[in-house]
Amino acid sequence: MPDTPKATVEEAPAASSRSLTRFAWLSIAAALLTIGLKTVAYLLTGSVGLLSDAIESFVNLVGGIMALAMLTVAARPADEAHAFGHGKAEYFSSGVEGTLILIAAASIGIASVERLITPRPLEQVGLGLGVSVVASLVNLGVALLLLRVGRKYNSITLEANAQHLMTDVWTSVGVVVGVGAVALTGWQRLDPIVALVVAANIVWTGVRIVRRSISGLMDVALSAEELGLIHKALEPYRQDGLEFHALRTRRAGGSRFVTLHILVPGDWTVQRGHQLLERLEGDICRALPNAIMFTHLEPLGDPASCADVALERNETARATPAMEQRPKPPSR
């Protein structure tokens, strides 16, 4: 039976991506607001920590614009040139976002080292910190919303954007603590030291986002938890004597692709096999939302059914024995 793709209609990935673009607009608006607030805080105090905070907000803006662009691309339906859809566009967004986070960390590090060498007294600390706290609360609210929506719809773009905003929040917390400590102790070098610690934390976040993006582009299999859901859905069929192999999975944005070969008795009719696949695919799609199924029916007991257990089907090797049995043309 030919491979049969199936996905739950009510959870179509393109529809979800279209609805997610409004959250990217929210991220852009939050970035613009916090850029203004943090720039004012830096101008009031002259703190390199608050400057690093403002720099990261510029990166947030670029990340938000990139997220909007890639979510728009990911929302496009499958076409002749992109039969599996455009979901992988989200990995480009998260990859760029992670890279921007690393660039922001490097910028913070450079500014901090310069201020560590030549300390500078801070001014209007109380007012500057108040403005910075307001900006941080804006980022915190938006980050928590994006994180919840990103996990709900399996959008790595929104999750990466949320993680980026959360690093900005932690940056602001560290900066506020550092600037406050400087005001209390009078030790000017404490400001750049705190900024360096914050930069190190940002590097860790950026590396994790980039690694996850690379994994998606390289078609890494679904998580152990997701694979467990598939096996759980298959268990009742195993108990009925059916067998399965060649389970292959990958993710593209919010979509999960599952390929599976099902072995049934060779005397089954095509109709009976088709009905089985319909039930089985439906069970997996209910267990694994946004799953797109590709199933292949094979007869039990046929040696050819086990020829494609390996990850890559070697069609040349399968065809060679048959070709060798053909009579050779007479020699002239």
Question: DSSP 3-state assignment of 172?
Answer: helix
pLDDT of the residue at 13: 42
Q: What is the pTM of this model?
A: 0.59
132-171 pLDDT, tens digit each: 788 888 989 999 998 888 888 777 778 878 877 887 787 7
Please state the rounded mean pLDDT for residues 316-331.
39
d(CA 82, CA 263) in angstroms, rounded, equals 30
Q: Which domains does the chain have, with CATH numbers?
A: 13-217 (1.20.1510.10), 224-324 (3.30.70.1350)
Asked if residues 21 and 72 have their Cβ atoms less than 8 Å apart, the reply is yes
96-115 pLDDT, tens digit each: 777 877 887 787 777 778 77
Residue 269 — φ and ψ, nearest 5°? -80, 160
d(CA 302, CA 229) in angstroms, rounded, equals 29
Higher pLDDT, 220 or 263: 263
- The DSSP secondary-structure symbol of 210 reads H
244-282 pLDDT, tens digit each: 988 999 887 667 889 999 999 989 999 999 999 999 999
DSSP letters, 62-99, are: HHHHHHHHHHHHHTSPP-SS-TT-STTHHHHHHHHHHH
Asked if residues 65 and 199 have their Cβ atoms less than 8 Å apart, the reply is no
Residue 123 banded pLDDT, cuts 50, 70, 90: low
d(CA 3, CA 277) in angstroms, rounded, equals 10
pLDDT of the residue at 152: 81
Dump strand ranges (E) for the chain: 4-6, 243-252, 255-264, 291-299
pLDDT of the residue at 277: 93
pLDDT of the residue at 309: 64
Among 101, 98, 100, 67, residue whose Cα is nearest residue 210: 98
Work out whether the CA dihedral 222, 223, 224, 225 comes out positive or negative: negative
d(CA 57, CA 138) in angstroms, rounded, equals 12
Tokens 């560590």 label which residue? Answer: 116
